[in-house]
Structure 1
Amino acid sequence: MLRILFVCSHNSARGQMAEAFFNKYAHEDESAESAGIEPGELNPYVVRAMAEKGFDLSNNQTKCIFELYKEGHHFTHVISVCDETVAEQCPVFPGVMKNEHWSLKDPSTFVGSDEEIMEQVRAVRDSIEENVKAFLAD
């Protein structure tokens, strides 16, 4: 049984997308959650980009990794989906079989016109989907 925790800075974009894709493609006994080191607000560009793929994240709430730990959540794998500097800040979860890192750009840092930002978010979204599929294929 796989229990995955996707960790990012604010749980406002990358972790939310990874959780949604994982739970779509996973088998019945596999599941994922996502959380942030410092939870923020859900990124509206991510909500739009995921809606293009048939996911409704509009009512999702950001979560804190420390709250999940205090609540007794257990995971077999922790995958950080942030840049290298933030990945180093991720706490260690007891009992985790494997830690992994997927370096992905932070959509909250994207600049440009509405369409330019959406293109950048779509690229991150598609990269996450590919990573999830590859992870599940292993």
Structure 2
Amino acid sequence: MTEQESELPTILFVCSMNSVRSPIAAALARKHFPGRLVARSAGVRSGKVDHFVHQVMEEVGIDMSVHTPHTMDELVASNFDIIVTLADDAKKAVADRGLEAAVMEHWSPADPSEMEGSRDVVLGAYRELRDTMDIKLRTALEPMLARAGKSA
């Protein structure tokens, strides 16, 4: 069965380059709702694999080695149950592209890739994003699915 034929709720996370915020969010959503939703991520423009993401997600048992950054141009679907934008340019791009969802939310997490300092300082920023996203998804996703008329 293809994703388009699936009865599972669909959620799309969009950030600037699909290398940090949106892939972390999608991976955490899949972790908390295994087999109960289809979580995808995309970027406004093309990004590169971020090895700090691999490291901090590995710490919580999530293998990100299969993730390759994708742009919104690569999306097959234009309608989702939930769309969460994670950067201001993503919010604008979703509107400009005409993507639709029963529930649309904009979250504004800091981009840890902009952090300057030692490796430990930068890793700390990535861990903070991961942990903040983890809490947010565990508390917000179920109510968002209910608002979309879906249950996971």
Q: Is the pair's TM-score, using the shorter chain for normalization, greater than 0.5? A: yes
Report the residue type matching 1:79 in the other structure: V
Deviation at 1:91, TM superposition (A): 1.9
Determine helix, strand or coil for the equivalent of 1:56.
coil
* Alignment partner of 1:54 out of 61, 66, 79: 61
1:26 Cα deviation (Å)? 1.4
Query: Judging changes above 3 Å, is the alpha-carbon distance between structure 1 residues 94 and 117 closer, same or farther for their aligned structure 2 residues?
Result: closer
1:18 corresponds to: 25
Aligned-partner Cα distance in 1 for 2:12–2:91: 16
Q: Is the Cα contact below 8 Å between 2:54 and 2:64 reproduced in 1?
A: yes
User: What amino acid sits opposite 2:132 in the alignment?
Assistant: S
Amino-acid identity (%) = 30
Compare CA radii of gyration and give the structure with the larger one. Answer: 2
Q: 1: distance between equivalents of 2:54 and 2:72?
A: 21
- Aligned residue pairs total 134
List runs of 5+ in structure 2 lacking aligned partners. 1-7, 144-152
Per mean C-alpha deviation after superposition, the further-off stretch among 32-41 and 56-65 is: 56-65
Q: Following TM superposition, by how much is the alpha carbon of 1:54 offset from its aligned partner in structure 2, in angstroms? A: 0.6
TM score, norm. by length of structure 2: 0.80
Q: Which of 99, 102, 106 in structure 2 is aligned with 1:101?
A: 106
Q: Give the superposition deviation at 1:25.
A: 0.9
* TM-score, normalisation: structure 1: 0.88
In structure 2, the residue matched to 1:38 is: 45
SS of equivalent to 1:76: strand
Any idea what the Cα deviations from partners look like across 1:68-123, whole Å, max 9, x if unmatched?
Answer: 0xx235411110122xx324422234441111011111122111100010011100
1:89 aligns with 2:101: no
The SS at the match of 1:4 is: strand
Matches for 1:109-128 after TM superposition, within 5 Å: 109-128=114-133
Report the Cα distance in structure 1 between the residues aligned to 2:77 and 2:13, rounded to whole angstroms: 16
Instruction: Report if aligned partners of 1:38, 1:64 keep a CA contact under 8 Å in 2.
Output: yes
Unaligned runs of 5+ in 1: none
Q: Give the whole-Å Cα distance in 2 for the aligned partners of 1:119 and 1:9.
A: 21
Q: Counterpart of 1:10 in structure 2: which amino acid?
A: M
SS in 2 for 1:78: strand
Other structure's SS at 1:99 match: strand
Partner in structure 1 of residue 80 of structure 2 = 75
Q: CA RMSD in A?
A: 1.7
In the alignment, residue 133 of structure 2 is paired with which amino acid? I
User: 2 CA distance for matches of 1:23 and 1:67?
Assistant: 20
Counterpart-to-counterpart distance in 2, 1:48 and 1:4: 24
Counterpart in 2 of 1:130?
A: 135
